[in-house]
């Protein structure tokens, strides 16, 4: 999961999903507010209509009511209830009645905002409002409604199945002592909006994210292949077949450029290997001839110095050629138990009587190139023996890495020179004596080996004195 979220595909997909959810959230809030405003307007219009129609109905003669019944049915306002919702309809004598006092009871909270809105609607209809009260109470908490529900089982069943609130409006017009009281069951909030938005979000998510996934895969698949090919070429340096050109035009041009670059670099590396082989052959042949010729020198001391010089030149040449060839291998790394690998190297030094110890902390397995890692470990041990006389090798696992650690009790390296010591031909001791200063390629070669394995060579001075050199190889 973490690898997916760190990839281009994962980050774009997550960004699109987050943007879609945020946009749908904003849309849901706006639609919900618009629906609430429409609902509130419908409720206020229904309350105003009920007050006006009830007052007119009370003023008409019984004969006029029959003649205008059809007109009243056509004049009913839109219901504030949601579409398809079964509304509770109260008896007419409860929906509107006139009383000598305000319907507001002590402790009942008035709704000032609704009072203001309803007063504006009534004023637009020519009603001179002297006093207006608007409040809510549970439907069955109203005495008139509760009494009607006891007489009408159907009304009671509906009120119990879907609890409603009751909006009570009391109006006293200017110059009148009579309170006009309207009761209006409030519809439950329409939940269809939430369902619609949820379905819309799912559909948009499936369509947009699905299309985006296929488009991005067309881009990221060749990019992944290109990255893997570049990683292999950077590690082994071996040329491979040109990468197949695919994807959008920009990606195709990138792959074509990579193929051309890989071919050019591969040919340069091949030329370098040929040149190094020729140099090694041309230099080692006369060195071998010199070794034979110095045997005829009678002065033993002079002969020994010449032999040492030839040996130094030969060893330095070997190290230079080895450093140049590191990474140019087509063989895949082998999963190896590093404790056994280190033990075989340490035994070589023990056979020569050198004080090298080994300590392993459990079984540590990692994919490595055996020959090169052994060469790098030998260099670290040799460096420790040269400057301290002893070496301690430890194999352990730490922070997702296999660690091959070599400690010594020598003088260490000045902190400001640690990085310089990893560069070619940099020596901790100024002389070119192989027993003290060396050629300055041992640590450089060890660093190249570590980097060949995707790891690093870490040098640090120990608090108790001496140097600690570590191969840190990811496992």
Each residue's pLDDT tens digit, 231-266: 777 765 666 788 888 888 888 899 899 889 888 887
Q: What is the mean pLDDT of the chain?
A: 81
Higher pLDDT, 175 or 71: 175
CB atoms within 10 A of CB 274: 10
Would you state the structure tokens that stand for residue 384, as one six-digit string? 């420790």
Would you state the structure tokens that stand for residue 259, as one six-digit string? 């193929």
Q: Which of 142, 139, 140 is nearest to 105 (CA)?
A: 142
Higher pLDDT, 143 or 403: 403
Looking at residue 84, what is its pLDDT? 40
String of b and e for 342-381 (b: at least 16 CB within 10 Å)? beebbeebeeeeeebebebeeebebebbeebbbbbbbbbb
Calculated CA dihedral for residues 153, 158, 163, 168, nearest 10 degrees: -80
pLDDT (mean) for 354-372 = 90
Q: Tell me, letter by letter, the H, E, C secondary structure of the chain.
A: CHHHHHCHHHHHHHHHHHHHHHHHHHHHHHHHHHHHHHHHHHHHHHHHHHHHHHHHHHHCCHHHHHHCHHHHHHCCCCCCCCCCCCCCCCCHHHHEEEECCCCCCCCCCCCHHHHHHHHHHHHHCCCCEEEEEEEEEEHHHCHHHHHHHHHCHHHHHHHHHCCCEEEEEEEEECCCCCEEEEEEEECCCCCHHHHHHHHHHHHHHHHHHHHHHHHHHHHHHHHHHHHHHHHHHHHHCCCCCCCCCCCCHHHHHHHHHHHHHHHHHHHHHHHHHHHHHHHHHHHHHHHHHHHHHHHHCCCHHHHHHHHHHHHHHHHHHHHHHHHHHCCCCCCCCEEEEHHHHHHHHHHHHHHCCCCEEEEECCCCEEEECHHHHHHHHHHHHHHHHHHHCCEEEEEEEECCEEEEEEECCCCCCCHHHCCHHHCCCCCCCCCCCCCCCCCCCHHHHHHHHHHHCCCEEEEEECCCCCEEEEEEEEC
Phi-psi group of 329: left, alpha or beta (phi > 0 → left; psi -120 to 50 → alpha; rest → beta): beta
Among the residue ranges 43-47, 77-81, 332-336, 371-375, the one predicted with the least confidence is 77-81
Higher pLDDT, 106 or 441: 106
Let me know: does 54 contact 183? Beta carbons within 8 Å. no
Would you state the structure tokens that stand for residue 146, as one six-digit string? 């509760």
Looking at residue 190, what is its pLDDT? 67
Let me know: does 124 contact 44? Beta carbons within 8 Å. no
Higher pLDDT, 131 or 55: 131
pLDDT (mean) for 97-124 = 90
Say whether pTM exceeds 0.85. no
Share of the chain above pLDDT 90, in %: 23
Looking at residue 69, what is its pLDDT? 46
pLDDT band at residue 108 using 50, 70 and 90 as cut-offs: confident
Separation CA 381–CA 408 (nearest Å): 9
Pairing of strands 391-398, 356-360: parallel
pLDDT at 95 over 50: yes
Separation CA 419–CA 425 (nearest Å): 13
Q: Which of 316, 331, 348 is nearest to 445 (CA)?
A: 316
Separation CA 292–CA 148 (nearest Å): 128
Would you state the structure tokens that stand for residue 224, as one six-digit string? 């992944």
Max CA distance (Å), the chain: 153
Residue 76 burial (10 A CB sphere; 0-12, 13-18, 19+) = exposed
Question: For residue 432, how many C-alpha atoms fall within 13 Å in the half-sphere facing its CB?
Answer: 8
| Length of the chain as a residue count | 475
Would you state the structure tokens that stand for residue 367, as one six-digit string? 């994919």
pLDDT at 435 over 60: no
pLDDT at 318 over 80: no
pLDDT at 187 over 60: yes
Separation CA 458–CA 468 (nearest Å): 8
């Amino acid at each position: 999961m973490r690898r997916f979220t760190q990839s281009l595909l994962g980050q774009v997909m997550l960004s699109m999903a987050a943007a879609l959810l945020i946009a749908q959230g904003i849309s849901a809030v706006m639609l919900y507010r618009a629906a609430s405003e429409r609902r509130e307007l419908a409720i206020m219009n229904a309350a105003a209509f009920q007050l006006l129609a009830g007052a007119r109905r009370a003023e008409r003669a019984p004969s006029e009511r029959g003649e205008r019944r059809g007109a009243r049915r056509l004049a009913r306002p839109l219901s504030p209830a949601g579409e398809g919702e079964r509304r509770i309809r109260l008896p007419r004598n409860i929906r509107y009645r006139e009383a000598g006092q305000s319907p507001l009871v002590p402790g009942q909270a008035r709704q000032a905002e609704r009072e203001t809105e309803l007063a504006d609607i009534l004023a637009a209809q020519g009603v001179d409002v002297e006093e207006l009260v608007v409040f809510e109470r549970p439907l069955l908490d109203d005495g008139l409604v509760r009494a009607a529900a006891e007489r009408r089982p159907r009304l009671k069943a509906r009120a119990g199945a879907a609890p409603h609130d009751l909006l009570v409006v009391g109006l006293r017009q200017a110059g009148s002592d009579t309170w006009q009281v309207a009761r209006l069951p409030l519809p439950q909030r329409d939940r269809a909006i939430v369902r619609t938005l949820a379905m819309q979000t799912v559909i948009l998510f499936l369509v947009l994210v699905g299309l985006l996934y296929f488009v991005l895969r067309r881009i990221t698949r060749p990019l992944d292949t290109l990255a893997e090919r570049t990683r292999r070429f950077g590690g082994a340096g071996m040329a491979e077949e040109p990468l197949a050109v695919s994807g959008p035009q920009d990606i195709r041009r990138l792959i074509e450029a990579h193929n051309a670059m890989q071919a050019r670099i591969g040919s340069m590396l091949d030329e370098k290997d040929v040149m190094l082989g020729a140099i090694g052959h041309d230099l080692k042949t006369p060195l071998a001839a010199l070794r034979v010729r110095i045997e005829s020198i009678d002065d033993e001391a002079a002969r020994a110095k010449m032999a040492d010089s030839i040996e130094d030149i030969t060893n330095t040449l070997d190290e230079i050629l080895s450093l140049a060839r590191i990474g140019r291998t087509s063989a895949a790394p082998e999963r190896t138990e590093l404790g056994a690998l280190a033990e075989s190297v340490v035994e070589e030094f023990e056979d020569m009587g050198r004080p090298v110890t080994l300590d392993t902390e459990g079984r540590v397995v990692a994919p490595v190139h055996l020959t090169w890692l052994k060469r790098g470990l030998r260099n670290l041990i040799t460096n420790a023996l040269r400057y301290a006389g002893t070496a301690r090798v430890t194999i352990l696992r730490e922070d997702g890495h296999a660690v091959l650690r070599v400690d010594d009790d020598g003088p260490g390296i000045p902190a400001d020179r640690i990085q310089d010591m990893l560069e070619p031909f940099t020596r901790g001791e100024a002389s070119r004596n192989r027993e003290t200063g060396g050629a300055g390629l041992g640590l450089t070669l060890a660093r190249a080996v570590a980097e060949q394995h995707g790891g690093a060579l870490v040098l640090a001075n120990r608090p108790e004195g001496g140097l600690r050199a570590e191969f840190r190889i990811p496992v």
